[in-house]
Amino acid sequence: MDWSSALFLLLGTLLLLMLTGLPVAFAFLGVNLIGAFVFLGGEVGLDQVVRNTIASVSNFSLAPIPLFLLMGEILFQTGVAFAAINAIDKLITRVPGRLSIVSVLGGTMFSSLSGSTIANTAVLGSALLPDMLKRGYHPTLAMGPIMATGSIAMLIPPSALAVLLGSLAGISIAKLLIAGIIPGLMMAASFLIYIIVRCRANPALAPAYDVEPATLWERWKPLLTHVLPLMGIFVVVVGSILGGWATPTESAALGSVASAIAAIAYGKFTLAAMKRAIAETAKISVMILFIIAASVTFSQILAFSGAADGLLRVITGLDSGTIVLLLSMLIVLLVLGAFMDQVSMIMITLPFFIPLAQSAGIDLLWFGVLMLVVMEISFTTPPFGLLIFVMKGVAPPEISLGEVYRAAIPFILLALGVLALLILFPDLTTWLPNLIRR
């Protein structure tokens, strides 16, 4: 069988199974069974599937994923995160679009404490959305900032998806985690500027209201007691990596312990909350590990069948130039992101994209950050962006899915603008990680 027929068989079967509604992990498993039997030697190939599954989930470099997720879940389930967002709410007073700004600042802060975009969006939506809608905020400025800022958790460490991408693509996990900080802050800054400009131009989008009078100390005290101490968790995680004192796995473990200590210090630590945090962490982690286990064999089958090498030869033979190749890969990711989850995107594209990037001389760290930014955008891309449905779940019943789509679009365009800057100025992504001490 030639490489094009093999590629059509493998990808066609995978897409067909996914279109039937079969979970991604099981779609990969079904393709693997067919591919292993055809390309890896029948029963011997099926034995290889079992060995690959064991080896893939035994990879120690994946250990930070559940630990980073646990950090955010502890803060979420114990209520510590809600207290921090309320503290930011009390600090901000006379600015256009006040609650929208609170959602961006609070979400960015929580992004530095949580490896889960779902938890980030759920916290912001539960804490702020009802009050914003009650006060007459336009859905674009109520739901849009929450979804957009919720997805920043993928860029600002700790990021479970960055760990997954780095481990599978052969990129330094420590550098990839640090490289996401500046792009994440650029996203947050663009959202803030947009909100202020829109609200100044049309105050009806976010009606002003009287804030309860408070002294300077009453406004700053919650920040000092409920926000700044939590930033110690970020310092523990990122500082230990930047200083070269801990590996990403060790820093993730330290961050989880620091989150538990914070919950104890605030008197919010309970066994029931810990059980919920562990259960939610386990659910997401098992889903990710199932997909990884199935997709590692898929990558191997692509290589054995000659499909990966054949496609690589065709694309490199086009001689279209590095920037055109880069943009083509990012466009493919943007299109895929409208229809599938981020882990699946990584699994399907990495076997092709990493060899292509290496053959074109593209810096893998820069490319890894660009992939993360595109996947961050895809979290809110209609029709199947994951955070769109998280937002629909926390929004009042009268909010339609179409309104959620429309709320996401301005912030998708802003994120695309940041992506363009990162493509034009690669140093924005590589400068900070290059400061990591060896």
Residue 318 pLDDT level (bands cut at 50, 70, 90):
low
Cα–Cα distance for residue pair 360/319, rounded to 1 Å:
10
Tell me, what's the pLDDT at 258?
Answer: 93
Label residue 20 exposed, middle or buried (CB < 10 Å: 0-12, 13-18, 19+). exposed
Kindly report the length of the chain: 438
Q: How confident is the model over 418-431, as a mean pLDDT?
A: 94
Residue 184 pLDDT level (bands cut at 50, 70, 90):
very high
pLDDT greater than 70 at residue 336: yes
Tell me, what's the pLDDT at 197?
Answer: 93
Residue with tokens 């309860």: 212
For 1-11, write each residue's pLDDT tens digit: 777 888 788 87
Q: How confident is the model over 382-408, as a mean pLDDT?
A: 83
Tell me, what's the pLDDT at 263?
Answer: 93
Tell me, what's the pLDDT at 210?
Answer: 67
Cα–Cα distance for residue pair 110/106, rounded to 1 Å:
6
Map out the domains of the chain as residue ranges: 3-435
Which helix (H) or strand (E) segment holds residue 168: the answer is helix 160-169
Quote helix, strand, coil % in the chain, to nearest 5. Answer: 80, 0, 20
Which of 297, 314, 295 minimizes the C-alpha distance to 355?
314
Q: Are 166 and 230 in contact (CB under 8 A)?
A: no
Residue 347 pLDDT level (bands cut at 50, 70, 90):
confident
Q: At what angle do helices 386-394 and 117-134 cross, to 10 degrees?
A: 40
Cα–Cα distance for residue pair 285/272, rounded to 1 Å:
20
Measure the CA angle with vertex 67, ends 62 and 72; round to 5°. 135
Residue 315 pLDDT level (bands cut at 50, 70, 90):
low
Q: Are 183 and 151 in contact (CB under 8 A)?
A: no
Q: Among 78-92, 204-218, 281-295, 301-315, where is mean pLDDT lowest? A: 301-315
Q: What is the CA radius of gyration of the chain?
A: 22
Tell me, what's the pLDDT at 426?
Answer: 94
Tell me, what's the pLDDT at 96?
Answer: 81
Q: Are 210 and 204 in contact (CB under 8 A)?
A: no
Cα–Cα distance for residue pair 286/423, rounded to 1 Å:
34
pLDDT greater than 60 at residue 438: no
Q: Among 10-24, 231-245, 289-303, where is mean pLDDT lowest? A: 289-303
Which of 70, 120, 56, 109 minimizes the C-alpha distance to 87?
109
Percent of the chain with pLDDT over 70: 95
374, HSE (Cβ side, Cα atoms, 13 Å) = 28
Distances (CA, A) of 340 to 81, 273, 343: 29, 31, 9
Tell me, what's the pLDDT at 215?
Answer: 78
Distances (CA, A) of 9 to 34, 254, 295, 373: 9, 45, 16, 31
Q: Among 124-138, 154-168, 287-301, 410-424, where is mean pLDDT lowest? A: 287-301
For 76-133, write each residue's pLDDT tens digit: 889 888 888 888 878 877 788 888 998 899 888 888 887 677 777 877 887 788 888 8
pLDDT greater than 90 at residue 274: yes
Which of 238, 2, 283 minimizes the C-alpha distance to 116?
283
Q: How confident is the model over 358-385, as a mean pLDDT?
A: 88
Cα–Cα distance for residue pair 435/181, rounded to 1 Å:
13
pLDDT greater than 80 at residue 385: no
Residue 188 pLDDT level (bands cut at 50, 70, 90):
very high
Percent of the chain with pLDDT over 90: 22
Which of 294, 255, 222 minimizes the C-alpha distance to 70?
255
Please state, rounded to an integer, the average pLDDT across all residues of the chain.
84
Structure-block tokens of residue 297: 């064999």
Cα–Cα distance for residue pair 357/336, rounded to 1 Å:
19
Residue 312 pLDDT level (bands cut at 50, 70, 90):
low
Q: One-letter amino acid identity for 403?
A: E
Tell me, what's the pLDDT at 316?
Answer: 64
